[in-house]
Amino acid sequence: MKINQRVNFLIPHRLIVVFCLLTTLFFIIQLVPVNKQKQTTFHKVNDIPLVIAHRGGAGIAPENTLYAFKLSERLGVDAIELDVRLSKDHQLVVIHDHTVDRTTNGTGFVSDMTLEELKKLDAGYHLELENRGYAFRGRGIQIPTLEEVFKEIKNTPFVIELKDTDPRVEKKVAKLIKKYDIKKKVIVGSFNDDSIKRFAKSTDGKVPIGTGSKTLKYYVFLHKLHLDRIYPLKRSAVQIPVKVGHIDLATERLINIIKERNIAIHYWTINDEKTMKELINLKVDGIITDYPNKMLRLINDDSKEI
């Protein structure tokens, strides 16, 4: 056999061997048992997903205020999602944006204002409701501190989003959770992976945590390649949108593999009934919505039909 003929013979032969090895490895990976997490308050207990009020129900009340949180608690939501930042004088305040412009009658960065200055603002100023106009203006609705929320809302769990990446925020939140002994009633998340890791370290892993952006992107990438079983996703919950660009994240396979790990899966921010129904049918653990009243009504109507 000539050398050229021999080389031409070996190349496809080697490719076949490599293909067979990769295929075998792929099927072995599918048999790898996933690491399971502890059950938390944020797993559903039946076929109905948890109703999580986004910012306390931003579509029906001034977001991230005690007014909204109390309303959602009266409605009977399963959990309240809120955002935490640090004021100029290092107080934990509940507000989503880095400025007060969108939600209050003031202007400026939250980090440039003291708690006293923030308390003077009207946190109900900009919310306009259909047929009611600016019904919350001038009603004394303030930006609350996280401690005020913990004192006032005692019967509903919290999904806490750390908006500032300042390590002092993580330590202060951890300290407050310990003070009020509510580690089983909260889950703490952030888009920043380092912030989540620091928080977990400060609590010795005793408080449930969510998933940061980098971790989630890496996991979804492996999931699309069917290699996600090898990734040690050590989180209590995955909270994601239905889609990222053209990538559909509300798939039965993704939901099932997350659930197999005993990790709760919540979708945000779902405000239309069509998507709510689709997620209910997919048996997700929770739906984060600006309209908890709509979600609760949908669940109650469906239960009556059964």
- List the catalytic residues: 54, 96
- Tell me the three state secondary structure of residue 48: coil
CB 144 within 8 A of CB 66: yes
Strands 186-189 and 158-162: what pairing? parallel
Alpha carbon 145 to chain centroid distance? 21
Q: What are phi and psi of 149, to 5 degrees?
A: -65, -45
Q: Tell the burial category of 45 from Cβ atoms under 10 Å away from its Cβ (0-12, 13-18, 19+).
A: exposed
Burial of 37 (0-12, 13-18, 19+ CB in 10 A): middle
CB atoms under 10 Å from CB of 181, counted, come to 8
Query: Could you tell me if 257 and 228 are in contact, meaning their C-beta atoms sit under 8 angstroms apart?
Result: yes
Backbone angles phi, psi at 2, to 5 degrees: -70, 160
Residue 264, C-beta contacts closer than 8 angstroms, at least 6 positions apart: 40, 42, 43, 44, 236, 237, 238, 285, 286
159 and 82 Cβ atoms separated by less than 8 Å:
yes
